[in-house]
Each structure stands twice: as structure tokens, then as C-alpha cells.
Amino acid sequence: MGRSAAFFDLDKTVIAKSSALAFGRPFYRDGLITRRDVVKSAYAQLMFRLGGTDEQTMARTRDYLATLCKGWQVEQVRQIVAETLHELINPYVYAEAAALIEEHQAAGRDVVLVSASGDEMVRPIGALLGVTDVIATRMAVEDGRYSGEVEFYAAGPSKVDAVGELATARGYDLADSYAYSDSYSDRPLLECVGHPTVVNPDRALRKLAVENSWPVLEFRHPIPLGRRLRERPAVPVAAAALGVGVGVAIGIAWYGRHRRTRAATPAVTA
């Protein structure tokens, strides 16, 4: 028997929103994307979630991502993520997911975040959760800027390839390992481990879980880190279990109102 690990999808599994779309507002604010980019990105995200297992859909999403990011300064992206992480991500981490991650770590398992979002976003989110191992999309970089090429797109079967490589390098026994996801597009990831669990599943994944008698969890309590530490016993993971077998566009209008409100009130440090 080798070591075991727990692989967690990120969006709608660990956090209650899309990590890529969450950073759309500061990217828009700093001039990296336009309003049209915002809408197209949200649509691409929606199409991926609805039919992400289709190779053509994944290829279109990957190519759009590469084109959108071409020319961006890598350091600027990292700085934006670092400055807005606690505002845009921390309040949306599911308390149940954080508790489950801690349970796996307490049991001696390595925890790995596996996400189609960019490494520059996923890795800091992992650090927020005490997770150092990340499998995420990597963009090619030339002279400190994204070149418009994708080195590795962490979606569909590619996730499984990366998980397999990591398992070989670390000596993980995948038959004794765990995986968690909300999306049918992660069917290959769930099927490659001995203990798959679906979280807040879409319709297709819920049907698959029923057919395979996989556990289904519903996470409903996104709580900031400070409150989570104070109220840890309040949301036990077991309470989220329903049993065995059983994005959208970024708010540009909200952002405009938010900016006007901030302009009309004294500045407050985030």
C-alpha cells in the first residue's frame, strides 16, 4: 500500500464561485480586460461547465484563454491576485470544504487543489487554505509576459494525466485516494481514484453519482477564515452529507455602483 492523497476541484467545490471570474473586476479595473472580455469570459466559463467534457469545447476555452491573456505582465497578475485575494476569495471558502481538507491532512494525506484556473490564481488560494500542492493551468511566458500559448491546460483528461504523474512521483495509491468535484467535466478525475465524492453536483454529475453509488455532499456555508477559526464546531462536515448515491457574468453594474459608493465615502484600507 502506498500513500494516499485527496484531490479537490476548486470552483463550486472549495469556494462558492468561479476563481477566474472572481478576479475579473480587478483585471477590468487595471485595464487588462474590457467589458466585452468580461461577458465573453463568463460565457466561455458557462459553456465549459455545461459541456466541458467535449474536446472541442475544451479546446475553444483553452484557445480563448490564451488569446485573452497574451501580453499581460505576469507580475502584474500576481500582484492583483495578492492584493484582492482576501476580499474576493476568502469570504467564499466553504466551511465544510475547509474542515474536510483539515480532516484529510490530520489523517496524513496530502491535499492537492486541481483547477482549470491559472496557477497564478490557484496557488495563492491554496496557501490561504494551507494547501501547497496545486495542479492548475500554466501559461507560457516570454520576457515576463504571457506569450499567448498554453503550456498545460488543467481540464478533463489532462487533470488525470497530471494526477497520475504526481501519484507516480509521490508514491500515491490512487485506489486508496480521494477526489471531490461539482462538475461532470471532472468525471475522469473522479473515476481515477478509489474514493470519489461529488460536491454541489450539476445535474449530469448527480445522475452519474447515483448510478455509481458515490457519496454526494452539499456545501452551503461560505465563511471567512477568521470566523471559520472561531466557529469551527458549528458546521461539521458530516452534517453536509446527504447520503450515498444520491460563471455567470461578472457584475459590472455592481462594480460601477461599488466604485461610485467608494468615491463618495472616505477611503478604507481593504
Sheet holding 145-152, edge to edge: 145-152, 133-142, 110-118, 5-9, 178-181, 195-199, 215-217, 241-244
Q: Which residues of 222-238 are buried (b: 16+ CB within 10 A; e: fewer)?
A: bbeeeebeeeeeebebe
* Cα–Cα distances in angstroms (integers) from residue 180 to residues 107, 174, 194, 199, in the given order: 17, 13, 12, 6
Which of the residues 9, 119, 186, 202 is marked catalytic? 9
Active site residue 133: no
Confirm if 95 and 222 have CB atoms less than 8 A apart. Answer: yes
Active site residue 63: no
Q: How many Cβ atoms sit within 10 Å of the Cβ of residue 150?
A: 18
Q: How far apart are CA 203 and CA 36, in angstroms?
A: 29
Q: Is the Cα dihedral 259, 261, 264, 266 positive or negative?
A: negative
Read out DSSP for 6-29? EEEE-BTTTBSS-HHHHTHHHHHH
Rounded to a whole number of angstroms, the CA Rg of the chain reads 19
DSSP collapsed to 3 states, 149-160? EEEECCCCHHHH
- Cβ count within 10 A of residue 104: 20
Q: Which residues form the catalytic set?
A: 9, 11
